[in-house]
Amino acid sequence: MSSRDPTTIEEMEQRVKELTDLVEQLGDTGRYAEADRENKKLEALKKRLSEKRKTALEEEQREHEEELHHAYEEQVKLFADQWDEEMKNFENDASKQIEELKNTHQQQNEALELSFASADPPQLKPSPELVSLRATEKQLAKLKKFQEALKAQAAADALEQEKVRLEKEEATRKNSLKQQLKAQQSSEMSNLLKRIDRERKEKCIQRGNDSARLEQRYRNLLRELRAEQKAQANEFQHGETMRKSKEAGKFISSPFRPSSSMNKTGTRTGSMSPAVSGSLSSTSRSTATPQRSTPSRTMRSTQSFHSSSAVSRRSAASTY
């Protein structure tokens, strides 16, 4: 038997087995002082082994929680990057649509001004009637026929006022068309900005909902993992209790009255029912190495988290 103090669980289990056999051999040969000394070592080693198993189980459980949390953090980062990219594309597309609408409005304004310019009549000379009335007015004034000259002047002034009135009406019509186009363009721009703002808010709400689902999925997996770990801890504790109960039922045979009903392990033959004996044997085997959550279980939780979070963010295509 190696004299080096065991440090790993495997080494400690091997040493427990060796010490157990040694104590039984010493007891069977009547070397009780040595048996008692080695038995104390055995009990101390069993206590260390139990603590070592418990520590190993707790450490493994912490590692599994850290793996799940790390997977969650990776998904949160990926989620944020994807949403940031989508919002960036959304804002770029929104700016592009606004700029395109501005260009369309500018073209409409230029087209309207061009239609006004093409519809304007060329600057004409005064009409023959107006020229005649002004000539008559001057002629009558020279002849001292002032009353008739006044009438000619009034008629000529009336013709000129009509021209001014028609020019004002045309200017009013043009201004009205401009105002109508401006109102139409303002409405179009307002509707576009409202739609963009509405879709931006919808995306923000969707991002918040997807983020909440991602976090809830993580919490659900963490709760399941901790429930499983609690069950493992309870199973481990139960196994330790059963092991101690089994060991308490053993006794060392007396060298003065050898009993044929004792087997070499010091356990009474037939003292337990086959069912109980099998149960204890099964428990002993289960506690020889602490129950540890299998990697596949942890990987299934992590993979489930990855897959669920991957579909949680539904990218909403921009529809303008």
20 CB neighbour count, 10 Å cutoff: 19
Q: What is the pLDDT along the chain (320 residues), one digit of tens a residue?
A: 555 778 898 988 898 899 999 999 999 999 999 999 999 988 898 888 889 889 999 999 999 999 999 999 999 999 999 999 999 999 999 999 999 999 999 999 999 999 888 875 555 456 677 677 778 878 877 888 778 878 878 877 777 777 777 778 888 888 999 999 999 999 999 999 999 999 999 999 999 999 999 999 999 999 999 999 999 999 988 888 888 787 766 544 444 333 333 333 333 333 333 332 333 233 333 333 334 444 445 545 555 555 554 444 444 444 33
61 CB neighbour count, 10 Å cutoff: 20
Q: Which two tokens stand for residue 146?
A: 């002032």
Check: CB of residue 63 under 8 Å from CB of residue 225. no
Q: What are phi and psi of 221, to 5 degrees?
A: -65, -40
Query: How far, CA to CA in Å, does 142 sit from each of 131, 139, 146, 153, 200?
Result: 17, 5, 9, 14, 82
